Chain A
Amino acid sequence: MQNSLTPSYDLRWKLEYRDGTRDKIGYWTRPGIAISEMASFQKTDGLARAIVEVKDKETGIIRTPVHCAGHDFCLFKWVQLAKLGIGKISGNVVGLTLVTREVEATFYIDGKLKTELRKKEDKEFHYEGYGQ
């Protein structure tokens, strides 16, 4: 009951580059620790596609329900739930969001997909954070 979603899927990010030689893939349902493991620190030059991959925990089948062209990609965000209580709390990952210039699409561990248009202030957050 740490999170209120039934975990049916594992999630990870993937970046495919035009030269086809240096694709990057994150860990299943965790952000990574080293810079080389985290989506935020990957290069975006020459990016062909950004993808949220999901793996059915029961069948092991991997699908790509969320993806965008490289020129439209902004960033990935993890969605996490944490119980309020004692001190420093990490909680559990429950979703992975692909952010494009106009849309945010989140795939949750229970299989639900949520898409919404980005707000003006969200775009400012992105451009401030990454200096683009």
Chain B
Amino acid sequence: MTVSIIVSETMNGAAFSDALAGGSIGIDWGQASNGGYTPLISQAANTGKKSMWIKHDAVVDPITDCKLFIQQYSGTYGGADTAANDFTTYKNKGYASASSNANNIDGLYSGLVVEMDYAVSTASQFDPARVGTQAFIFGDGVGSPQDGIDLTSAFPLKTIAMVYDNAGTPVVATTPVEGKIGKSGDAVLGDNAAMYWRFFLEAAAVTGGIMQVDVVIAYSFTA
């Protein structure tokens, strides 16, 4: 039996179902303005983020070695350039990111970022000081083993993302392990991974238009 991943916007909630340019269905991060980010509610208050919950349907064991990376968009491309160039742009933006502010008020934050701390405070979420430990910029670590741009350099799901679905109430897992999501009902490892996403656009960006990329999860399973 293959093991499937189930992705939703809230715990046990609706699946992502955004209509994307080109005709595919997926996740629309939204529109970012120069020196801002998306989704954005209040830049001054550092609010606005896309939540994502991941669980699975394994029946024997937890899934293990869970990690995230981006790759060239594989849907019907509907962006402003090409799928290959968009992938390069995502990587370059991640590599160039140099902000000191979680809300990009200095205009130097750029790229797609995943914040893996389910319980992070509003003030600290996406803080550049947390990049590499709790938050991860895809393309950031060129020259290091972890930049999230292929299977080899993928970002492992951190323990701080692991949550147990306690009859509809999310509870932090008691003894989570990096990269492992437990079966349904596993309060120890947690049976969900919860994380937050933003796309940051640097103040100096000159090229507009829709960009598209695949976000991929790698995982191992028995049954």
Contact = CB atoms under 8 A, between A and B. Distances in A.
A86 B218 contact: no
B121 interface: no
Interface residues of A, number: 38
**A interface: dominant SS:** mixed
Given A41-B223, A75-B222, A79-B220, A88 B57 contact: yes
A76 interface: yes
Contacts of B95: none
Given A1-B214, A85-B26, A125 B7 contact: no
A107 interface: no
A129 B57 CA distance: 16
Interface residues of B, number: 42
A97 B64 CA distance: 12
Given A30-B2, A31-B1, A38-B1, A84 B52 contact: yes
Contacts of B41: none
A4 interface: yes
A84 B222 contact: no
Nearest to B26: A85
Contact of A86 (B7, B54, B150): B7
Interface of A: 1-5, 30-33, 38-41, 75-91, 93-95, 97, 121-122, 125, 129
Given A84-B68, A125-B61, 6 more contacts: A4-B69, A81-B218, A85-B16, A86-B26, A87-B6, A125-B62
Interface of B: 1-8, 15-17, 25-27, 52, 54, 57, 60-62, 64-65, 68-69, 71-74, 150-151, 177, 180, 214-223
